[in-house]
Structure formats: C-alpha cells, structure tokens
Chains A and B, each alone.
Chain A
Amino acid sequence: MALNTEPNIARPDDFYQALIEAHAGLSEVQSAALNARLILLLANQVGDLETLKEAIAAAKAAG
C-alpha cells in the first residue's frame, strides 16, 4: 500500500477546524501529548509499516 498524498479527506476544512479546536486552551506540553496520541491512533489505522515509513519520510522532506 503506497502512501496516498492525493486529496482523500472528504471535508478538508471541517477536519482542519476540528484539529485546531482540539488544541484550544492546551499548553504546549499538553498539545504535544495530544499530537502524539493522535499520531499513534492514526498510525494504527494505517497499519502497514512501509506506508508509515513513507509518511515519516514525506513529513521529514517537507520540513
């Protein structure tokens, strides 16, 4: 399973708003912890190690 970087989120603006709102009122430490839990949950949803490694590489390359 290759990493899908084409548009795949049905309502992108709603997702983005939900993501930002989840962090409302959190300290930097709390936000970092929330992000970590979120990454782990999403990684489990993806499951495939090669796809996850592609995602890690894509994230690193864009920075």
Chain B
Amino acid sequence: MPSTYKAPEYPYARPPELAAGGVARAQVAIVGAGPIGLAAAIDLALHGIDFILVDDNNTVSVGSRAICYAKRALEILDRLGCGDAVCARGIEWKVGKVFFRDELAYQFDLLPEPGHKRPAFVNLQQYHLEECMVARLAELGHGVRWKNKAVGIDARDDGVRVAVETPDGRYAIEADYVIAADGARSALRDLMGLEWKGQVFRDRFLIADVHMKGEFPTERWFWFDPPFHPGQSVLLHRQADDVWRIDFQLGWDADPEEEKKPERVIPRIRAMLGDDRPFELEWVSVYTFQCRRLDHFVHGRVLFAGDAAHQVSPFGARGANSGFQDTDNLGWKLSRVLRGESPSTLLASYDSERVEAADENLKNSTRATDFITPKSAVSRIFRDAVLALSRTHPFARRLVNSGRLSMPTTHRASPLSTPDHDSFAGAMVPGAPAADAPVQVDGHAGWLLDCLGGRFDLLLFDAEDDAAEALAAGLGDAVRVVRITSSGAVQGQLIDFEGHAEHRYDARPGTAYLLRPDQHVAARWRAPTVDGVRAALARAQGH
C-alpha cells in the first residue's frame, strides 16, 4: 500500500431514477471516469451540454499507472481549467538519457527552445491527476455517479440506452450519444462485439513505484543491458512525492506471480541503486502489452475514446496523452451536433482524424517495442549493433529507440482543413495544433494558447484597423477575432513582445489563422477576406 498517498473514497448516491421508472435522460452518457472520461465530461460541461458520467468504482486509479503528461496534454488540461493544479502537483522534465551497459549512449532534450507555457513533460501519478480532474468537474457543478456500472448497451439510430447496475439495483440512461471511455478492457466494446485487432508482444515488464530520497536528476533514464539487470532493459522516472517509477524488462518466460513478490523485487531495486539507501515499495505490477485499435472509433451514436479505442505500449507515453487529444477533438464536434449547429456527419471527422493519430501512435510505439523487445534473432543482432555503434558513432544514437515520446498529430489530410493558397514556412500547416508563445494581455504577461480555443478563433497578425474591423463585422458571432502585434503595445491586442508567435506562425502583417475550438489550424491566409474565412469556417464545421 502506498505510504505517500491515501486514495479518496467518493460517495455513492442512490440514483433518483431507481424510484422514478428507471430511466435517466441526458444528451450524453459518458462511461468511465478515468482521465479520458473526466476530460470529456469537463469539456462537455464547458460547452453547456447535459451529461451523466458513470464509473464502476468509487475512487481513483490504483497504482500510479499513466505518469507522463506531454506538453499538448497539459495545454488541453489548461483549456479545461486544471492545467495549473496538475503542473503544481507534478514534476517537470525534458531531458532523456539512454545508457548501454555502463555508459551513456546518448541524451535528448524534448523542448530545447524557450517561450512555451508548458514544459515537454510533467510526471504525475494518475491518481493525483484524476483527483484534480474530479475537483475541477465539481467546480463546474457536476459529479460522477460512482459505483454505477454500465452492464448493457442498446444502440439505435435515434438514441442509445445504457443499462446501469448500482448497489441498489438497475436503471437505464437514455442518451443521444454515448462516449465510451472505459479503458483498455472496455466493457462497452465487448458488449457491442467490436473487433479489437493488433499485436501482442511476447515480453513481460515489472513495474514498481518506489518511495525514496533519490539523488537521480529529474530526467528519463533508460538502460539497455545494464550491469545490474543484464540482458534486459530498465526505465527510471521520477514522480511527485519522492516516488520513483522503475520498469524492469523480465522476458516472456518470467512468472508474473513470483516476480511481484517483494523478496524478488527488492533485490532487483537494491542492485540498481547500488547502495543501501532506504526505500519503500509502494506498488508493484507485472504487465504485458498490446498494440491494437478498433477499426473505427465512431459506431453510430457510440463514440470510443482513449484506451477503449486504441492501446499502445507504454514506451513513448502515448496512451493517456493521445486519449486527451481524442476528447479535445470530440468535445466541440459533439457539442455542435447536439446544438444543431453542425450536421452529425461532423463526427466522421473525429473518426478519421483520431484513427490517423492512433495509427501514428501505434507505429511509433510498435517501433520502440520492436527495438526494446526484438522479435527475431536478426532483429536482436541489428539492435545490439546499433547500441554497440552508439557508444562511439553519433549517427547510431538516432537509431536507438527507447520510446519516441508523445507529440500531437498534425491532421494533414483532414476533411475540415482548407488547403493553403498562399505560401508559408514552418510547422503551422492546416491540421496542426497551434503553437504557444509568450504574449502580453492587457499589460500582463500571458500565453497565446490561453487566449485561444473553446470556440473558433481568427488569429490576426499586425492587421490594419480597417481590415480587422471589416473582418470582425463581416464574420459576426461565428468567429472571435484575436488580434496580435509584434510592433509595440496596442490597446486591445495581444503583444508578441519576443516575436515568438510571428516566427512560429511565419506571420507577416495581415496574416490570419483560423483555429478550431481544439486549437488546431483550419485555414490560413496572407490577406484574409470575409468570404474566404466564411467558406473555411463552413468546411471546418462540417457543412
């Protein structure tokens, strides 16, 4: 049992529908109050959508589980209003080191440039994150129906009925849409009989949370074939509260029950630390992993998100991070459809965009896994050759793959994007997540991303007043015009005082970016017109 953490027990409340005919009504039923279900709920609450969120348990995650939250996930949490709480609780890091035997093979810096609000990564135990998110949801006036387990689903053309079991009996939720965020072992996926295809890796990993006063720096350390665990790999990560995550590769033949026993685990950790400093085991688990996904994430009115839709190996921190991007992509689309502002076909773009992202994550995580756990003799020969060369030949260090860490997907082929007619340099292509930059807002230091999102924005760089006013007047309420300038302080405009925004968006006077509510680029122009923006907006809204 963790000595540094006591899990909350959230109160179960008898659902009122148990007495009143047994049917609860909501626009959306969300199944699963893990990080992804909670993110979906907070997003829908911010959009004013009525939902019921159920979870079969009454507490947060057991064990630290997902611990690495990437910059983009933190930016999404900022938009949801819990970024500060998560970052205050967590540990920032950006440097990774890879060791081969007893030497440093290479190191990488995931965010080498300044001028971003959020760091490359924050490490935080999943239970802390979930607690922050439950608190944020409560702040918005919503709760979770704890100990409400989804046990049946009837998906029709005009709605979905979810059967729910509670300690006091059964009732049903009748909803327009269901978000299935019930994790890798998704009950809804099984109840709907959906195929769950992919690859199982023949390897086992021991995962241990260790409480100790470590003198390791706050970096990701990965060892191939270290002297303290020969022939296998080891990963070390720092979390909050002086808790360290250690992953030991065990091989396929390891006995999971035996390996979990403290008398087996403690000597492994002792050998790694190489001294007799005191430590306490907080949580131990042995896992295998799969790389797989559903064919589609949209099944009529049932929308799958997070691990329920796709499962990756842990190397690369692409699980929870991609799940947050799922709900970020889904929340605004579903809200528009439910308000009758967009046709229901807009949801098809959730499917195509997030399937594309899942494939990118699966590709990266499968490649890392193939490097860490070579599947054939020749694959191991090449892996060891890369590691051997990496000690003296810099080129080989780029081939070492201990996990390519989570980056957000640029939806290059999105049906919602308007292709460029003007020429631009840099990364802010249509479909890309907007880059952050330091700005001054009303004379105070702030961040560009905090000024965007939640609705469609037209980010207008150094525009003439006449042109900006004509755009604002012509576009009306459909778009919020956000003006930014790098040429001194102008009332009512964001000040790009270090020029980072101008550079990152390759902006010139008059350049405009149309950004979706999830802060992805929908279109951009050197000289925007009302008609051009309207057409791009209609496209991005699925019309």
Contacts and interface: CB of A to CB of B under 8 A. Distances in A.
B385 A36 contact: yes
Interface stretch (B26-34, B124-132, B291-299, B392-400): B392-400
Contacts of A41: 389, 393
B386 interface: yes
B395 A33 contact: no
B384 interface: yes
A37 interface: yes
A44 B393 CA distance: 10
B19 interface: no
B385 A44 contact: no
Interface of A: 32-33, 36-37, 39-41, 44
B5 interface: no
Contact of A44 (B382, B388, B395): B395
23 contacts: A32-B378, A32-B381, A33-B381, A33-B384, A33-B385, A33-B388, A36-B381, A36-B382, A36-B384, A36-B385, A37-B385, A37-B388, A39-B382, A40-B385, A40-B386, A40-B389, A40-B396, A40-B399, A41-B389, A41-B393, A44-B393, A44-B395, A44-B396
Q: Is the interface of B mostly helix, strand, loop or mixed?
A: helix
A6 B506 CA distance: 45
Contacts of A40: 382, 385-386, 389, 396, 399
Contacts of A44: 393, 395-396
Contacts of B378: 32
Interface residues of B, number: 12
A23 to B, nearest CB: 14
A57 to B, nearest CB: 18
Interface string B354-383: 000000000000000000000000100110
A32 B384 CA distance: 11
A41 B394 CA distance: 11
Given A32-B381, A33-B381, A40-B396, 9 more contacts: A32-B378, A36-B384, A37-B389, A40-B385, A40-B399, A41-B389, A41-B393, A44-B393, A44-B395
Nearest to A47: B395
Contacts of A33: 381, 384-385, 388
Nearest to B378: A32
Top 5 nearest A-B pairs (CB, nearest first) are A36-B385, A44-B395, A37-B385, A36-B381, A36-B382
Contacts of A39: 382, 385
B397 to A, nearest CB: 11
Contacts of A36: 381-382, 384-385
A36 B388 CA distance: 10
B374 to A, nearest CB: 12
Nearest to A29: B381
Most chain B Cβ neighbours within 10 Å, of A32, A36, A39, A41: A36
A39 B385 CA distance: 10
Most chain A Cβ neighbours within 10 Å, of B382, B385, B386, B395: B385
